[in-house]
Structure 1
Amino acid sequence: MNTIKVLVYVNQKAAGLLTREGRDYVFTYQTTDPSCFVSLTMPVRNKSYVFPRDQLHPIFNQYIPEGYLFEIFKALLSKEVGELDELTLLAVLAPSIKGRLTFSAVDMPPSLIDKVSPPKTPEPLLLDELIHRKDDLFEELLERFLYRSAIGGIQPKVLGVLRDKINLCMDDYIIKTSGEAYPFLTVNEYFCLQVARHAGLSVPEFFLSDSQKLLIIKRFAGNQNPAVGFEEMAVLLGKTNRQKYEGSYEQIARAISLFTGPSETRGSLEQYFMLMVLMVLLRNGDAHLKNFGVLYGTGQRDCRLAPPYNLVTTTCYLPHDTPALTLFGKKSWWNKKRLFHFAEQYCMMTPRRSAELWDSCISAVSQVRRELVKYCKEHPDFNVIGERMLKEWQIGEKANGDI
């Protein structure tokens, strides 16, 4: 029986205790301070929060690695723990988790004590060095940062601390690689993020390494004091990583309206509409519930939609891919008319405002397309994927050019 417990802190203040009882996970507040809520969906109360799905509550499940990283942890820890459950993995990762929520493991089995010791801090890597190294560093980065990587997502990635020699500061960065199944995924996402930036969306700093092997993205909920809260849309809708493809884009719009602050709602909904437009124009079939989120300082009053992340043209790998969630009951690449109807019905937008934001997205795609064409010429090894991306963007733009 798993006796591991995890203490949960909010901005360094003790908030409560997370345990497992049978197949249920139980979180009990040990404070009456209302500011110590662990999630916008879990206000402070006396009654325990029980999550009966053999997975952690969504706010804690948000920290559990998926896919590539989860399989590595499973292989490394199965000898000590047998079947790896989410509470054990959270306990192992606890010493390195930073942010509004932090964690501390108690009642750990002796075989795991070393795993939950504070990770050694090697000489920090320079951001500039990582960008300009020609070789594939990911295995080295994985060894260095594995136990710091409390981060979801299927794509191979780690969460690392890098030093910027220009600003003389250290920050958290998400460092991604492509993997064999999706060649040049790093380059793909780099150009999709460029589109978002040119469209006027607030995008975190991002860099493509000279080797094309690494995409380095500054973590937008990083080293701030007090720490910024971040919750994925899956959390706000009460879903875990196994349910990230269950739901609709209307539900996300309603959640934005419900959870964002009064002064932030309109801007957040406009940003969300632009992400919907870019999803269609870029043919991004992976805009699921974990790929949208909100940020906040004190709570709901200043809550707003988080900057865009995980933007990829998926149809250049999966030609028959469709959107991750439904809109108007279907998973299809909607036309401009349907998106404008969605904006008016769910995003508090006039047709005129929808047209302005649509034009910004179209202009951004056109501008970055020219950059992508140039990049393909300069990097022949990328040509196959690059040409597919250009074709998919053209299809997206043409299919949605008329109301």
Structure 2
Amino acid sequence: MARIGLSEGEPAPEWARRYPAHASGAIRLYGEEFHRDPAAVYWRLRSEHGPVAPVLVDGAVPAWLVLDYREFGQVLENPAHYTRDSAAWNSWDLIPADWPLIPMITKRNTAWFLTGDEHHRRVSVLADGLGSVDPFELRTASERVADALIDAFADQGKADLIAEYAELLPLRVTTALLGIPPVDSAAIVADLAVVVNGGPDAVAANLRLRAGLQAQVTARREHPRFDVLSRLVAHPVRLGDGELLEELQTVFAIVHQATSAWIGNTLRLMLGDARFATTILGGRRSVGEAMAEVLWEDPPGATLTGRWTVGRRMLGQYFLEAGDLLLLSIAAANTDPKIRPGREIIHRNQAHLAYGYGEHRCPLAGQEIGEAIAETAVQVLLDRLPDVELALPIEQLLWRPSLWLRSLMDLPVVFTPAGP
């Protein structure tokens, strides 16, 4: 286990002074060893520190990781004690301007970060708009997009089900439901992928993305249609263009990351785990069972972004100072032995934290849309390619090196090519 001690790239002296619990032996939540088996890291942290552990994130920056189910809820149920406002961090003066986690934890003008009345105002618009989606229309659109994507590689006998399928399908379905014309949605999907994945073109892509979404909002204000975007624009709450753009971009990012990862992780399980893979050709176990297991074992959103302590308080076995940074591990809390003795999976049990918790829990309409898209994507692919199998052993599949997202780098498969 890679550790950071006083002689091995430890926090700078000022970090060590402010965070004495982190000064010697805090475990890194980045690097090859962590990303290869994060579950083992969480188990070790829990055994050594209990429900809350001192950890280091990118750049050897100290944080507290909430590991256990009870403390997870305690933090999210008490916004007066654990604020969502990143301005409360007591260590901004030590953070360089190019620190890579700034975009993930810095407060933005969106429901994902807002709290109280303003949060509920934004969420009411999203919940009403997403709740108006017709389930039949959603399934039909998902099947149509799935078939089109499979058609593109069906005659090749091989595919990467992440890049060629899972990452594209949810975004295309979402743009269709919003009512964005195909000629415009292609550019929006492409730019969003660049923004989410980062890189030197991300800033320019983000500008194009916002301009493209703004054009769609303007068009609906001038000429309303019978689509979800028109309902969002015309909602009685009347979000301004800037507010609506922020919410649309957040929705797209969540769809792109969470739903895509859910599809990929479920396909990995069904194709690579003997409990599922050996029954694909006859009486296969339920796709729903595999999807539920993923939400417990490999939840797409592995870690929730920051909360900050308001005043000095005790959490777990540690006293946290005012303004300390907390991260909340969904993946760890889902395996808390106090709620899952023996680590058994209960497929109908919805007590997992994959949808979040408390005020910022994913709205029910969003949960239902994500589930319908993911389930349809997996079912259509297995129906269209009945002999599909992994192109390499499941243990050789690589996970993305991310603290926040549990998703595969790629998912290579082989199958009998479609005939002429």
Task: Sort the TM-score into its range (normalised by shorter chain).
Answer: under 0.3
Q: Which has the larger share of strand?
A: 1
Q: What is the TM-score normalised by the length of structure 1?
A: 0.23
Q: What is the TM-score normalised by the length of structure 2?
A: 0.23
Q: Which has the larger share of helix?
A: 2
